[in-house]
């Protein structure tokens, strides 16, 4: 985890400890709540803006650095072996994904055919590999960064990619919470890079919204899978006709 990420995560904890919401922080520094959310989602701050935020919450750089240094070291990715262990047991994978989505144990038991004893057993396995800490009363504290991701082309990403081919895309995408846009364009290298950067920003905002809505009761949250993909591509039939 980079020093910048440690500092930003420490800043978020300080905001929470002081009960300063994004809306309130925006009011103090003259930005909209949406702008503040975007800034944290993209993890992009100028030194001037960071200093402005610290002044707004009554901190200085030295205090923020100390808070970042004292924080537990979180993981950004599991090892290949750990992913293989998780993917080798479907119930373990379900519990891991549920934990990432901040779903409490009682809801895991209510939604899936997994007993409480099984769920606790799987949470203990995830505790052992450093994915989370199992607290008293079966509460969970994640030990992963907010930008945690599965290994590119690793065991779990490969599993979900295969599922996407066979199940996720097998729909008309016509439901109330469904959307699919296939756009094929010709762009300059500069425009293509700008588009990819924008897609990364959208993914960051999507992840931030997940964190914000995690405070809501389970009944008010609904599963939504977001797939972003972009690459130079054309249908095979088109390629076959090329000179």
Lookup: tokens for 138 = 């079966």
Q: Residue 195: which domain range?
A: 178-233
Give the per-residue pLDDT at 242: 81
Give the per-residue pLDDT at 99: 94
Q: Is 199 within the bounds of a domain?
A: yes
Q: Is 240 within the bounds of a domain?
A: no
For the chain, the helix, strand and coil percentages under 3-state DSSP, each to the nearest 5 = 60, 5, 40
Dmax over CA atoms of the chain, in Å, equals: 67
Residue by residue, DSSP assigns 141-160 as EE-B-TT--PPTTSHHHHHH
What's phi and psi for 144, nearest 5 deg? -120, 150
Q: Is 242 within the bounds of a domain?
A: no
Round to whole Å and give the CA distance between 215 and 194: 33
User: Taking each helix axis from N to C terminus, what angle separates 33-42 and 22-29, rounded to the nearest 10 degrees?
Assistant: 110
Give tens-digit pLDDT for 86-140. 999 999 999 999 999 889 999 999 999 999 999 999 999 999 988 999 999 999 9
Closest CA to 147 of 211, 94, 196, 198: 211
Report mean pLDDT in 10-residue bins for the chain, 243 residues. Answer: 72 86 92 90 84 91 81 80 94 94 92 95 93 91 84 93 86 91 91 91 84 84 88 87 82
Round to whole Å and give the CA distance between 34 and 88: 41
Q: Is 112 within the bounds of a domain?
A: yes
Round to whole Å and give the CA distance between 87 and 92: 8
Give the per-residue pLDDT at 71: 60
Give the per-residue pLDDT at 96: 95
Round to whole Å and give the CA distance between 147 and 124: 23
Note whether 83 and 61 are same-domain residues. no
Note whether 65 and 104 are same-domain residues. no
C-alpha distances out from residue 41 to 101, 116, 165, 189, 208, Å = 17, 35, 29, 26, 6
> Which residues lie across from 141 on neighbouring strands?
133
HSE of 91 in the Cβ direction (CA atoms, 13 Å)?
Answer: 16
Give the per-residue pLDDT at 234: 84
Q: Is 243 within the bounds of a domain?
A: no
Burial class (CB in 10 A: 0-12, 13-18, 19+), 193: exposed
At which of 70, 86, 119 does a domain end? 70
Give the per-residue pLDDT at 38: 87
Closest CA to 28 of 64, 53, 58: 53
How many structural domains compose the chain?
Answer: 3
Note whether 93 and 59 are same-domain residues. no
């Amino acid at each position: 985890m980079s020093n910048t990420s440690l500092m930003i995560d420490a800043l978020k904890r300080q905001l929470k400890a002081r009960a300063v919401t994004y809306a309130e922080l925006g009011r103090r520094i003259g930005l909209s709540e949406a702008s503040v959310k975007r800034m944290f989602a993209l993890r992009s701050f100028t030194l001037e803006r960071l200093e402005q935020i610290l002044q707004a919450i009554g901190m200085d750089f030295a205090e923020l650095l100390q808070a970042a240094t004292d924080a537990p070291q979180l993981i950004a990715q599991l090892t290949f072996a750990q992913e293989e262990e998780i993917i080798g047991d479907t119930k373990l994978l379900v519990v891991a994904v549920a934990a990432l989505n901040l779903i409490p144990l009682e809801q895991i038991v209510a939604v899936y055919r997994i007993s409480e004893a099984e769920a606790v057993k799987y949470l203990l396995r995830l505790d052992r590999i450093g994915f989370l800490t199992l607290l008293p009363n079966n509460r969970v504290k994640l030990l992963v960064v907010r930008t945690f991701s599965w290994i590119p082309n690793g065991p779990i990403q490969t599993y979900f990619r295969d599922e996407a081919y066979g199940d996720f895309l097998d729909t008309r995408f016509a439901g109330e919470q469904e959307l699919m846009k296939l756009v094929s364009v010709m762009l300059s290298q500069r425009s293509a890079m700008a588009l990819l950067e924008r897609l990364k920003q959208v993914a960051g905002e999507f992840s931030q919204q997940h964190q914000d809505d995690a405070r809501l009761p389970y009944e008010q949250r609904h599963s939504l899978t977001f797939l972003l993909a972009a690459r130079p591509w054309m249908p095979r039939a088109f390629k076959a006709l090329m000179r």
